[in-house]
Amino acid sequence: MLFGRRKKNPIILRDKGVVDWKYATCGYCSTGCAMEVGLDKDGKAVTTRGVADAPVNRGKLCIKGITEAGILDAAGRGTEPLLRGHTYDPWQTVSWDAALDKTAAEFQRIQEKYGRDSVAVVSTGQILTEEFYTLGKLVRGIIGTNNYDGNTTLCMASAVSGYKRSFGSDGPPGCYDDFSHTDCLLAFGSNLPEQHPVIYWRLKEALEERKFPIIVVDPRVTMFAQFADIHLPITPGTDLVLLNSLCHVILKEGLADEDFIAAHTNGREAFAALVDEYNPGMAAKITGIDEDTIRHVARLYASAGAAMSIWTMGINQSTHGSDGVCAINNLNLITGNIGKPGGTSLSITGQCNAMGTREWSSCSGLPGYRALENPAHREEIGQFWGVDPEFFPKQRGRFMTDIFPAIETGEIKALWLVATNPMTSMPNTGRIRKILEKLEFCVVQDAYQDVEATQYAHAYFPASVWAEKDGCFTNTERRVNRVTPVTAPLANSKPDLWIFNQLAKRWEQGARMNFPESASDVFEEMKLLSVGTGANGAPRMLDISGMNHALIEQQRGIQWPMRAGDETGAARLYSDGVFQFPDGRAKLLALPWTDNNEKPDTDFPFWLNSGRVVEHFHTRTRTGKVGNCNKFSPTAYMEMNPDAAREIGVEHMQYVRLVSRRGDAIVLAQLTQRVPRNMVFVPFHFHDCVNRVSLGLLDPHSRQPAFKQAAVRIEQVDQAEAARLNREMRAY
Amino acid sequence: MTVKLFEPIASSRPSQSLFPLRDNEPDYALLKDPQSAERNRYGNPIALIDLVDEASSLNINGVSEKGFNPNRNKQHAFHFTADNCIGCHACESACSEKNDLPPHLSFRSVGYVEGGTYPNFVRMNISMACNHCDDPVCLKGCPTRAYTKHPEYGAVIQDPDICFGCGYCTWVCPYNAPQLDPVAGQVEKCNMCVDRLEVGLKPACVSACLGNALNFGVVENTPERREQIDTRIPGFPDPEITKPNIRFQQTRNMPRELTRTDSAPIKYRRDDAAGHYRPAVDKKSGSARFWNLPRLSSRENPLVLFTLAAQAAIGLFAMLFIGSMTGNDVVSSIGVSVVYPAAVALCLGLVAFGLFMSTVHLGKPIRFYRGFNNLRHSPVAREGAGVAGFMAFAGLHMVAVLGQQAWLQDYLPALAQFNGSLAAAAAASGVLAIASSAIGLYYMYRCYRIKARPFWDNRQTAFSFVGCSLYLGGLALAAVGSVALLLEGASIAPLLSLCGVLMGTGLALEGLGLYLHARDMDAANNEGTVSHYVQCTTFGKTYLLRNALLVLCAAGLLLAPLYVAATAGVAFWLVLALAAVVVAVIGRALFYVLVVPTTMPGAFFWKNKGFEQHARDIGLAAMPQVGVVPDLH
């Protein structure tokens, strides 16, 4: 034996004692990884593993998915419904009936006194599609407020808006399999390895099979930028100029797919006239990307057999977010890269069910991509639900980012927050605090009682979370996948579907309508609404009539459209070149750029950029409590260029104070050449941190805030005092 | 060597005992090594045993079934493509899930080095676990024999049920693979996921990798779609120390200089001649000198006390015994005095105190007796055996000399007839005690000759230990001798002269060692240089104070014969002698707190000693999800 051992030691390997695995889809981001949750002999969810034959993740999971079992019994879970008269009163534990009765009564009282729209509902991208559909039915069909939106306005609204403006409908046209067919990939403001590591892995697998060029547009040298063949370190907020200039070169040099343009688009003339102004020399001065590189990239992209663009918040969270998305669509339309394998405009979505809320929650209209502005849609849904179509507003109401200002002005008196945490996630949270104080009645429905918004709540509904519930998520590539109730809801928490159904009964109108209790029955109802004819005379695009819960699980997720009778879903939209406008043509849009960002100046000399880190999700209500995630960044920090730091005497691992025109925040400085000399980057996950200073100018189309463009200065602070504050701010 | 590539799924047998295989395990998780070389680059055979005749069950969790991996007799290794790692922590979390680890522990960690200037910037992540070395210094160092290098897969596996938590393996490992868990009081480490290997699956971390950076297979095999199997990347310690079973691919060009984001003042510079990167000092905290006296106190405080007390006892006993044997007038007069047995008892007391302190230092003190399990390899075990032998023989010696004491024989006259035997026993046990103490002291020194800790791996450790034995022993001799002489009414001046010279010599020896050490460290260009930089800055003032005191004490005590006849001289001597104790304590505390191991680079929070200390200081560590264990000492 080795090293003189005659008898080797027996080996003891610890494990979690899994005796059973149950199916779910990850409840964090929109990659849509299929997983199995491992249960021990006591039925406790103890671990997870990727489903080996899942088309999305092929057995892989990222750190958040791997540790996800830990969120079910994480600290801060709500266990009982709570009520209080004022926000300064202590909470009283009450029965569900009491909490629901009080909430319905308050909503009714406030609506009677101030009008129907004085109650606002802000939902999420985190709950199940069946729950979104039911919430939409409750809000549109019973409560009747037009101030109803989701927090998707903070992340994907620009993509939605851009898709609608270019193609006539929401719905990402591509899929992950496009990586295996593309000849060039252009990524805008997407840190794929960190934000969507499993999608990055799919890309890496495709690259190892067949090398193709990667171009990354990002002001930070992320790992993705580092691995790119060409990195374009762009000046924040100027993507639209770059895109117009790329199109300029492509049209000027005759590299466009004129046949595709002629056959499938409108608006070439105005578009060409506009991009003509954006010659690379002019664009270079604005974007910081030299003109040769712009031409080089344009030629590379246009000459590739199939080329695709992906983007995330670098585009969406901008004052030109919607225009940026349209400009990416322009680029792909003029190069004929829509609807073909490897050629697409693929927004990489944020939340696990941002797509579900876009499709079915009625936030921006009526279910199934229907519009309030369309009388036929109001009629159809009114009849289906048993609601007088006249009860529906004739046009879409306020976006989430306009709801808060309407509370400020006193137009809205009551707010219902469902699984969202504006106290951390909205820009300029100092203003949000003052706004929430003005509410007469605020309900927070969340799995976590310690979500910061409960400080301003009069009622708290403890919701069940993720795999305690039953239903579906839709992912970035339109794949509908199943979440099954792996464990029983914690304590007296209840699934959101149950809460919506019970609340609906508190209205007379609700008692007359049908609210199915089981998620599969809700899904069957949605299927009925998904069939029909679209605006272009073709069958509806968002068609799920061929799916059912059992089949979805069996296929480990199915992409819509899947019509009744189809064996499986469709990988891509618009493969036939027919778009969702009435004439079936996409629009080439002329998108002039205006310079309206807050930019660094002598008082505030740094760009403030924000974003995610791989180990955290959103406002840390889950990952902040899972040690094996949280330990990788347990406290707020800021990336800063060491050369800039030297000038103002900031040292590595030192606390500094970030100051903007809105407020201040304390962060630890991490000095790295990852960021340019005039920029700092702060992860947005931490409570009372970057969003105390962010501005969030709104995009005119999507009303999405420009989180990533603001100006700050950096000041020295007393280190002991800053450390104390940092400790106090970290309740989790 | 060729084996028939097996189909894990098809090969799987109905078994309740082996790792449960799904019938659709993804291809990337399957081990594939149809071919392998005969010998690795170090010349060692890759097949560690014969597969058919010698291989036996790994006996995992009491399962006697043998796995069906046809390469289970071969040394396996991780392969890491540094070009590809995205730092996503999937490997670390998959490992923590598989092994059910609390947040403050990790068998695998990802850190990084970075360099360049925006936007021409490069960050290289490094994911590192155990390298299951050909020469497992952890196994050799462990006094309890908690480690086994299994001929199956060459896996180096540690058994926490044997471990007593001394943490010595965490000192000797250059890669920070063994993890000392201060909460459980034991070490745990990567187990190569041998349960997965037995059924043909790659380890959990490898199967989880999202950057296609980690891979695993028979050592020296180049994985699919890879071209390099190198043994070095920037930030990775010299592979010559342990002959690690990890191979790298790193083909992208890197900046000449790479820095670490953690608090370790180390950077890496490309050595064009050698073709790889070498560590260098990164003067993160400038060149200002500080006291930082509270930071002298560390987890290793018990070892400061153990080594000092044991060296004092060894020195005292040697001086007493050898002095008496060689007929030194002063010492002989102590040897025949009633104080002599008490002096030997003082030696015993000091050693017992030292051993008690070193036992307290263990994570599981109740298992102290396991410290002698690995006499074959471990200097710790031999040190323990030497010191224990010294205690036993010095104890016998004390009994023998006690039996010859006149006052005892007055009380028990029968003893007188054994005077001859007692004298012989005293001489024999004294010689054996000296021999044992020499063994103990030598292995105490060998314990710190750790290649992964260049600050210690120097002759200065010997100069210091021998020097301390002389000057602390000399001080103890002066103490007991004074009592003896005062009882006799004799002058203590000759004693103080003798002890002063002995102590001055010891101090001079340590001073010489320190001078040579500083010179070596400055020239070494390794982590030792970094330690010395910290010594001269963070502890700069403390260091100067100790050096000044040392010179003063050495000179003053060597000159003792000139002034100890006067009362004021005695007082001066006393002041110098006490200052020498201060020199010893500061010096030994510095010895422990300064050492910078050749560990892997950390990240900004995780595996950053600076942040860990900050989290403890401000109370963040009280939250378990921060992954930092609060202060325990």
Q: Do A9 and B162 lie within an 8 Å CB cutoff?
A: yes
Nearest CA in chain A to B616: A727
Cα distance between residue B532 and residue B310, in whole Å: 26
Q: Do A223 and B617 lie within an 8 Å CB cutoff?
A: no
Q: Characterize the bridge pairing of strands B120-128 and B109-117.
A: antiparallel
Q: Which of residues A501, A533, A559 is at a domain's end? A: A559
**A672 in contact with B at a CB cutoff of 8 Å?**
yes
Cα distance between residue B134 and residue A256, in whole Å: 60
**B263 in contact with A at a CB cutoff of 8 Å?**
yes
Q: Taking residues B389-407, what's their average pLDDT?
A: 93
For residues A312 and A347, the answer to whether their CB atoms sit within 8 Å is yes
pLDDT band (50, 70, 90) for residue A8: confident
pLDDT of B263-310, one tens digit each? 999 999 999 998 899 999 999 888 999 999 999 998 899 999 999 999
Answer yes or no: is A592 within a domain. Answer: no
Interface test with A, best of B97, B158, B163 (most A CBs within 10 A): B97
**A649 in contact with B at a CB cutoff of 8 Å?**
no
The whole-number pLDDT of residue B12 equals 55
Q: Do A653 and B263 lie within an 8 Å CB cutoff?
A: yes
Answer yes or no: is A598 within a domain. Answer: no
Q: Taking residues A353-367, what's their average pLDDT?
A: 95
CB-CB neighbors (< 8 A) of A637 in chain B: 604-605
CB-CB neighbors (< 8 A) of B61 in chain A: 11-13
Give chain B's length: 633
Q: Do B139 and A61 lie within an 8 Å CB cutoff?
A: no
Q: Could you tell me if A390 and A457 lie in one domain? A: yes
Answer yes or no: is A392 within a domain. Answer: yes
CB-CB neighbors (< 8 A) of B610 in chain A: 653
Q: Could you tell me if A447 and A550 lie in one domain? A: yes
The whole-number pLDDT of residue B9 equals 55
Q: Is the peptide bond before A219 cis (omega within 30 degrees of 0)?
A: no
Interface test with B, best of A210, A450, A632 (most B CBs within 10 A): A632
The whole-number pLDDT of residue A291 equals 98
Give A69 to chain B, closest Cα distance, Å.
10
Answer yes or no: is A571 within a domain. Answer: no
Q: Which of residues A9, A40, A71 is at a domain's end? A: A71
CA-closest candidate to residue B372, choices B381, B360, B364, B383: B381
Domain total of chain A: 4
Q: Characterize the bridge pairing of strands B147-149 and B156-158.
A: antiparallel
Q: Do B119 and A676 lie within an 8 Å CB cutoff?
A: yes
B293-594, superfamily in CATH? Formate dehydrogenase/DMSO reductase domain (1.20.1630.10)
pLDDT of B247-267, one tens digit each? 999 999 899 999 999 999 999
Cα maximum dimension of chain A: 88
Q: Which residue has the higher pLDDT, B18 or A87?
A: A87
Q: Do B212 and A62 lie within an 8 Å CB cutoff?
A: no
**A500 in contact with B at a CB cutoff of 8 Å?**
no
The whole-number pLDDT of residue A1 equals 60
Nearest CA in chain A to B62: A10
Q: Could you tell me if A470 and A393 lie in one domain? A: yes
Report whether pLDDT(B14) > 70. Answer: no
Q: Could you tell me if A110 and A65 lie in one domain? A: no
Q: Do B58 and A634 lie within an 8 Å CB cutoff?
A: no
Interface test with B, best of A5, A7, A13 (most B CBs within 10 A): A13
pLDDT of B156-208, one tens digit each? 999 999 999 999 999 999 999 999 999 999 999 999 999 999 999 999 999 99
CB-CB neighbors (< 8 A) of B620 in chain A: 634-635, 726-727, 730
Task: Give the pair of three-digit tokens for residue B226.
Answer: 């890879």
**A290 in contact with B at a CB cutoff of 8 Å?**
no
Residue-by-residue DSSP string for B212-275? S-EEEEETTPPPTT----BS--TTPPPTTTT--SEEEE--S---SEEEESSS--EEEEEETTTT
Answer yes or no: is A493 within a domain. Answer: yes
Q: Which residue has the higher pLDDT, B4 or A422?
A: A422
Q: Could you tell me if A384 and A312 lie in one domain? A: no
For residues A159 and A129, the answer to whether their CB atoms sit within 8 Å is no
Alpha carbon separation from A713 to A115, A191, A658, A676, A682 (Å, rounded):
44, 25, 6, 15, 13
pLDDT band (50, 70, 90) for residue B525: confident
Q: Could you tell me if A148 and A181 lie in one domain? A: no
Answer yes or no: is A552 within a domain. Answer: yes
Give A67 to chain B, closest Cα distance, Å.
7
Same topology between domain B8-281 and domain B293-594: no
List the Cα angle B85/B87/B90 in 5-degree steps: 100
Q: Taking residues A604-623, what's their average pLDDT?
A: 96
Q: Do B94 and A66 lie within an 8 Å CB cutoff?
A: yes
Q: Do B625 and A627 lie within an 8 Å CB cutoff?
A: yes
Q: Do B119 and A221 lie within an 8 Å CB cutoff?
A: yes
* Residue of B58, B139, B627 lying closest to A634 (CB–CB): B627
* Contacts with A, B 136-175, CB within 8 Å: 136, 139-140, 145-146, 148-151, 157, 159-162
Q: Could you tell me if A458 and A545 lie in one domain? A: yes
Residue B347's CB is within 10 A of a number of other CB atoms, namely 31
Q: Could you tell me if A265 and A137 lie in one domain? A: no
Q: Could you tell me if A148 and A191 lie in one domain? A: no
Q: Could you tell me if A637 and A692 lie in one domain? A: yes
Which residues, 6 or more positions from B556, have their beta carbon under 8 angstroms from its beta carbon? B504, B572, B573, B576
Residue A41's CB is within 10 A of a number of other CB atoms, namely 9
Answer yes or no: is A564 within a domain. Answer: no
Which residues, 6 or more positions from A172, have their beta carbon under 8 angstroms from its beta carbon? A159, A163, A344, A345, A346, A347, A349, A476, A477, A478, A573
| pTM score, whole prediction | 0.95
Q: How many CB pairs under 8 A join A and B?
A: 223
* Contacts with A, B 303-332, CB within 8 Å: none
Q: Taking residues B570-599, what's their average pLDDT?
A: 95
Q: Which of residues A333, A348, A363 is at a domain's end? A: A348
As for the ipTM of the complex, it is 0.96
Mean predicted lDDT score pLDDT of chain B: 93
**B187 in contact with A at a CB cutoff of 8 Å?**
no
Q: Do A204 and B84 lie within an 8 Å CB cutoff?
A: yes
Report whether pLDDT(A546) > 90. Answer: yes
**B603 in contact with A at a CB cutoff of 8 Å?**
yes
The whole-number pLDDT of residue B54 equals 74
- In percent, how much of chain B has pLDDT > 70? 97
CB-CB neighbors (< 8 A) of A63 in chain B: 88-90, 92-93
pLDDT of A167-188, one tens digit each? 999 999 999 999 999 999 999 9
Answer yes or no: is A576 within a domain. Answer: no
Q: Do A66 and B97 lie within an 8 Å CB cutoff?
A: yes
CB-CB neighbors (< 8 A) of A56 in chain B: none
Give A726 to chain B, closest Cα distance, Å.
9
Cα distance between residue A344 and residue A333, in whole Å: 9
* Contacts with B, A 454-473, CB within 8 Å: none
CB-CB neighbors (< 8 A) of A204 in chain B: 84, 210-212
CB-CB neighbors (< 8 A) of B207 in chain A: 59
The whole-number pLDDT of residue B16 equals 61
The residue extents of the domains of chain B are 8-281, 293-594
Alpha carbon separation from A549 to A30, A472, A555, B203, B445 (Å, rounded):
19, 8, 10, 34, 69
pLDDT band (50, 70, 90) for residue B416: confident
pLDDT band (50, 70, 90) for residue A559: very high
Q: Could you tell me if A143 and A246 lie in one domain? A: no
Give A225 to chain B, closest Cα distance, Å.
9
Q: Taking residues A304-326, what's their average pLDDT?
A: 96
* Residue of B99, B121, B606 lying closest to A221 (CB–CB): B121
pLDDT of B431-481, one tens digit each? 999 999 999 999 999 999 999 999 999 999 999 999 999 999 999 999 999
**A202 in contact with B at a CB cutoff of 8 Å?**
no
Q: Taking residues A96-106, what's their average pLDDT?
A: 98
Helical packing angle, A519-530 and A375-385, nearest 10°: 150
* Residue of B26, B103, B139 lying closest to A59 (CB–CB): B26
- In percent, how much of chain B has pLDDT > 90? 85
Q: Do B150 and A8 lie within an 8 Å CB cutoff?
A: yes
Give B627 to chain A, closest Cα distance, Å.
5
Nearest CA in chain B to A197: B210
Report whether pLDDT(A59) > 90. Answer: yes
Is 3.30.70.20 the CATH classification of the domain at B8-281?
A: yes
Q: Do A201 and B211 lie within an 8 Å CB cutoff?
A: yes
CA B23, B29, B35, B41 dihedral sign is negative
**A58 in contact with B at a CB cutoff of 8 Å?**
yes
Q: Which residue has the higher pLDDT, A505 or B52?
A: A505
**B24 in contact with A at a CB cutoff of 8 Å?**
yes
**A262 in contact with B at a CB cutoff of 8 Å?**
no
The whole-number pLDDT of residue B65 equals 87
Residue A576's CB is within 10 A of a number of other CB atoms, namely 10
Domain with residue A47: its CATH number is 3.30.200.210
Residue-by-residue DSSP string for B45-56? BSB-S-TTTT--
Q: Do A12 and B615 lie within an 8 Å CB cutoff?
A: no
Residue-range definition of the domain harbouring residue A321: 157-348
Q: Could you tell me if A412 and A554 lie in one domain? A: yes
Domain with residue A620: its CATH number is 2.40.40.20
Q: Worst-scoring range by mean pLDDT, A208-222, A316-330, B197-211, B269-283?
A: B269-283
Q: Worst-scoring range by mean pLDDT, A261-275, A517-531, A546-560, B410-424?
A: B410-424
CB-CB neighbors (< 8 A) of A628 in chain B: 92-93, 96-97, 101, 103, 627
Cα distance between residue B347 and residue B316, in whole Å: 7
Cα distance between residue A724 and residue A706, in whole Å: 31
Report whether pLDDT(B13) > 60. Answer: no
